[in-house]
Amino acid sequence: MSASTSYGARPWTFYVLASLFTLFVIFLYGPMFGVLILSFQGPSASLAFPLRDPSLMWFDELFNPRRTGDVVGALGRSLPLAVIVMVLTVFISVAAGFAFRRRFWGATAIFYTAIASLIVPGLVLSIGTLVTFRYLGLTASWYGSALGAHLSWALPFGLLIMFAILGRLNPSYEEAAYDLGASKWQTVMGVVVPIVFPGMIAVALFGFTLSYDEFPRSWLTVGSKNTLPLEIWTMTTNVTSPALYALGTVTTVVSFIVIAIALSSIFLIQRKRSRGK
Amino acid sequence: MNSIMTKPIQASGMVAHQGSGEIRLTNITKQFGNSYAVRDINLTIPHGSYCCLIGPSGCGKTTILRMIAGHETPTSGEIHIGGQMVVGKPPVERGTAMMFQNYALFPHLSILDNVAFYLKMRGVGKEERRRKAQEMLQRVQLDHLKDRMPAQLSGGQQQRVALARSLITNPKLLLLDEPLSALDEFLRLRMRGELKSLQNELGITFVHVTHTQPEAIALADMVVVMDTGRIDQADTANTIFNRPKTPYVARFMGGQNVLTGTVEENAAGVVKLRSAGGSVFEAKAEGAGRVPGAQMSISIRRDRIMLRRRGGGADTAGLNAIGGVVEATEYQGSYVKVTINVGGGVFVANVSDDAHFAEPVVMGDPVVVSWNAADVHVLSKVDTGAAGDPYLDGIP
């Protein structure tokens, strides 16, 4: 029994956990804000704080390159690649999710085979892909070998999400549709896909961001033209101006736009279902 | 409160499906892997009847319902609906409609579009199907909620929508999988009455799966009592309750005490039994096998039991009676449920409240329970206390 009676006083563990969480948030977003702020650095071109004479000159430098690399070209490859990976991941994950709803012979083996590629180190996979393409006499390119390498990374995530979502889907929805005279295709398009649509958006989000950010699996597989993460890496070694920070800001903004679109569409769907039109 | 309607569902104006809704199951077996869900079931449910399938979970009642509905294919055997063999046919061709336990309303569609779903699948135009769906919603008095989404409705309202969505298919057979289990007590009783009157008005066959005895007795023209994959008894509610065939049915339906004894003598159809505990009972029984030494089980309704306090040492139970000790009393309003331990087994007497409060018994009181020989019902099977009877009280 404690000496004084207190109501609602917080235990000491609250303060420990709150401090831990604060540190976590600082580490999570601190570096991003550092880059964001320094991308507005003035003509002093200092790579470190403080920020002097804020300007947009490094963004200009980025899109009208004199000393920086081919940022616009890299973005022009990274974005379509991410979109293709996204579409394929959604399509294949949903199809596989349906297949795995009914247990079939070898299902477990196939599942683990698909998931195992997650533990293969990306750089090793990159080398392997290049070696195999060379052996087969194929040319490495962002839309060929890199696409395959990216899918080996994005697909297992998509599969895991889709399995969880379809596994939770009550089979009685499909049975009710069948009971009411719907064909298999009508059931999928009219009932199952609309119900799991928020999950499909989540898979799309993973597919896009995993590809858009990917460095190790892109390293040797993109061929002669770099994707954005590779371009940034190149710049860190030979560009020593805040243009690097400006690039960081631009890529982060692109990622955030994609996430915002995905989350707000999930939110809108959920709200429509709970509140009506 | 107005959301769950003050008037019953209006069935008038609905056109029942052409053809008979008689169901005939012939030697139906369903295996899942190596285990049998149901085995060699034979059952005929007459057209236009309200049939309740009742049994503990895992007894196969839902499997039977799903096989009739076409959501499960029997391993062997035949299912006929209205004289037509339906195995392998989709639900729409069977003329069945199923109401799912969780109602399975499509969460992404409005109430109106849920009800119109069947018409949409048949290619009926938007205007027409919405008009018809609205009419159906009017009948279940939910047309004012037609633009809501399922998640915004209460359990009772969701059930009405599910009912409307099923009935728009014009079924000759409505299959209900534990339709009342998700509702609270008040709503359950109300919907129970409405289901019954709806069935009366539509005149189609209802098959209703439940695990609640009062529900089956209140609703059904025909009660089918199931136990681990087989049918123990299929008959009217009255017969099932009063004249159970087996110890299992007697116990499962409640309201009965089961006693087993060895035949001591058989004089012109009146059999004298002695239980393992030494009590002696009489029962009228015809048929072979009632010879001295044979085992026999009887049942007596709980509300036909007389209860008295046991006197001093010389007070023995006598004929058609057992001595015991009160284990618990439970007030039920119009009667008091007295549970008595009769030497290892449990015996229940439902004593009228007047009689109980005139001379109350409490836990630990020594008592004698007795009954009139006329109230004894002979069971066709001996109570073996077999495993698989989850309602075994362990009567000596």
Residue predicted with more confidence, B43 or B293: B43
Give contacts of A183 with chain B, Cβ < 8 Å. 121
pTM for this structure? Answer: 0.79
Q: Which amino acid is at A211?
A: S
What are B221-279's pLDDT values in tens digits?
Answer: 999 999 888 899 999 999 998 899 988 898 888 788 888 888 888 877 788 888 887 78
Amino acid A98 reads F
Tell me the per-residue pLDDT of A169-228, one tens digit each, with 9 for 90 and over. 888 999 999 999 999 899 999 999 999 988 899 999 989 989 988 888 888 878 778 888
**pLDDT beyond 80 at B390:** no
How does pLDDT run across B299-311, given as a tens digit for each residue? 999 999 988 888 7
Which residues lie across from A4 on neighbouring strands?
none
Contact (Cβ atoms closer than 8 angstroms) between residue B74 and residue B87: yes
Residue B395 binned pLDDT confidence (cut-offs 50, 70, 90): very low
Min Cα separation A183/chain B (Å): 8
Q: B190 CA to chain A: closest CA distance, Å?
A: 25
What are the C-alpha distances in Å from A216 to residues A121, A147, A156, A219, B177?
8, 13, 17, 5, 54
The answer to whether residue B164 scores a pLDDT higher than 90 is yes
Assigned token pair, B191: 């919907």
Lowest mean pLDDT across B5-14, B41-50, B358-367: B5-14
- In this structure, the strands spanning B35-45 and B23-32 are antiparallel
Question: What tokens appear for B217 in the block?
Answer: 């007795």
Mutation target among B72, B93, B96, B108 for the A interface, most CBs of A within 10 A: B108
In this prediction, residue A65 carries a pLDDT of 62
Segments of chain A with pLDDT less than 70: 1-5, 65-69, 274-277
Q: Is the pLDDT of residue B17 over 50?
A: no
- Among candidates A102, A101, A87, which has minimal Cα distance to A163? A101
CB pair distance less than 8 Å for A179 and B69: yes
The pLDDT assigned to B6 comes to 46
> Among B353, B337, B340, which residue's Cα sits nearest to residue B309?
B340
- The contacts of residue A172 (CB under 8 Å, 6+ apart) are B100, B101, B102, B104
What distance in Å separates the CA atoms of residue B63 and residue B213, rounded to the nearest whole number?
19
A200 in helix, strand or coil?
helix
Which strands, in side-by-side order, build the sheet including B256-267? B280-284, B270-274, B256-267, B295-301, B377-378
pLDDT higher than 50, residue B1: no
DSSP conformation class of B319: B
Q: Considering chain B, what is the average pLDDT of its residues?
A: 85
At residue B391, the pLDDT reads 52
- Tell me the backbone φ, ψ of residue B33, rounded to 5 degrees: 65, -125
Write out chain B residues lying below 8 Å of A277, CB-based. Answer: 110, 147
How far is it, in rounded angstroms, from Cα A137 to Cα B362?
94
**Cβ count within 10 A of residue A205:** 21
Q: What count of other Cβ atoms lies within 10 Å of the Cβ of residue B45?
A: 24
Q: Are A37 and A26 in contact (CB under 8 A)?
A: no
Question: What residues pair up with A157 in beta bridges, in sequence order?
Answer: none
Residue B383 in this model has a pLDDT that exceeds 80: no
- pLDDT tops 60 at residue B142: yes
Provide φ and ψ at B183, rounded to 5°. -100, 155
Round to whole Å and give the CA distance between B376 and B298.
7
- The string of DSSP codes covering B197-220 is HHHHHH--EEEEEES-HHHHHHH-
Shortest alpha-carbon distance between residue A234 and chain B (Å): 48
Residues A101 and A109: their CA atoms lie apart, in Å, by: 15
Phi-psi region of B49 (alpha: psi -120 to 50; beta: other; left: phi over 0): beta
- Does residue B151 surpass a pLDDT of 60? yes
Q: Which residue of A102, A178, A179, A185 is the best one to mutate when testing the B interface, meaning the one whose CB has the most B CBs within 10 A?
A: A179
Return the DSSP state at A222.
S
C-alpha distance from residue A93 to each of A153, A154, A192, B221 (Å): 13, 10, 14, 50
| Residue B312: pLDDT band with limits 50, 70, 90 | low
Q: Which residue of A has its CA nearest to B121?
A: A182
Instruction: Evaluate if residue B389 carries a pLDDT over 70.
Output: no
Band of residue B18 on the pLDDT scale cut at 50, 70, 90: low
